[in-house]
Amino acid sequence: MKWVIESSPHLQSPETVPQIMVSVFAALVPAGFWGVFRFGMHSAFVVLTSIAGCVLLEFISQKWVFKTTVRIGDGSAALTGLLMAYCLPPDMPLWQVLVGCFFAIFIAKECFGGLGNNLFNPALIGRAVLLTSFPVTMTRWQIDGVTQASPLGIWKESIGASLPSYGTLFVGGIPGSIGETSKLLLIAGGLFLLARGIISWHVPVSTIGSVFVLSIFFRQDPVFQVLSGGLILGAVYMATDTVTGPLTARGKLIFGFGCGLLTVCIRNLGSFPEGVCYAILIMNMLVPLIDRFTRQRIYGKKT
pLDDT for the residue 265: 95
The pTM of the full predicted model, rounded to 2 decimals, is 0.93
Phi, psi (rounded to 5 degrees) for 8: -65, 160
Model confidence band, residue 48 (pLDDT cutoffs 50, 70, 90): very high
Rounded average pLDDT over 155-174:
86
pLDDT for the residue 221: 95
Rounded average pLDDT over 71-89:
96
Q: Is the pLDDT of residue 8 over 70?
A: no
At 238-272, the pLDDT tens digits run 999 999 999 999 999 999 999 999 999 999 998 88
Phi, psi (rounded to 5 degrees) for 271: -85, -20
| Domains in the chain with CATH codes | 17-294 (1.10.3430)
Give me the chain's average pLDDT, please.
92
Instruction: Compare 158 and 277 and report the one with higher pLDDT.
Output: 277
Percentage of the residues of the chain whose pLDDT score is greater than 70: 92
Rounded average pLDDT over 194-207:
96
Among left, alpha and beta (phi > 0; psi -120 to 50; other), residue 67 is left
Model confidence band, residue 140 (pLDDT cutoffs 50, 70, 90): confident
In terms of Cβ atoms closer than 10 Å to its own Cβ (0-12, 13-18, 19+), residue 209 is middle
At 29-42, the pLDDT tens digits run 999 999 999 999 99
Q: Could you give the CA distance from residue 82 to residue 87 in angstroms, rounded to a whole number?
A: 9
pLDDT for the residue 114: 93
Helical (H) or strand (E) element with 133: helix 122-133
pLDDT for the residue 42: 95
Q: Is the pLDDT of residue 7 over 80?
A: no
Model confidence band, residue 154 (pLDDT cutoffs 50, 70, 90): confident
Q: Could you give the CA distance from residue 275 to residue 285 in angstroms, rounded to a whole number?
A: 16
pLDDT for the residue 10: 61
Q: Is the pLDDT of residue 9 over 80?
A: no
Q: Could you give the CA distance from residue 36 to residue 86 in angstroms, rounded to a whole number?
A: 11
CA neighbor of 88 nearest in space, from 78, 75, 98, 77: 98
Residues contacting residue 278 through CB under 8 Å, at least 6 positions apart = 128, 262, 266, 272
Model confidence band, residue 5 (pLDDT cutoffs 50, 70, 90): low
Q: Is the pLDDT of residue 159 over 70?
A: no
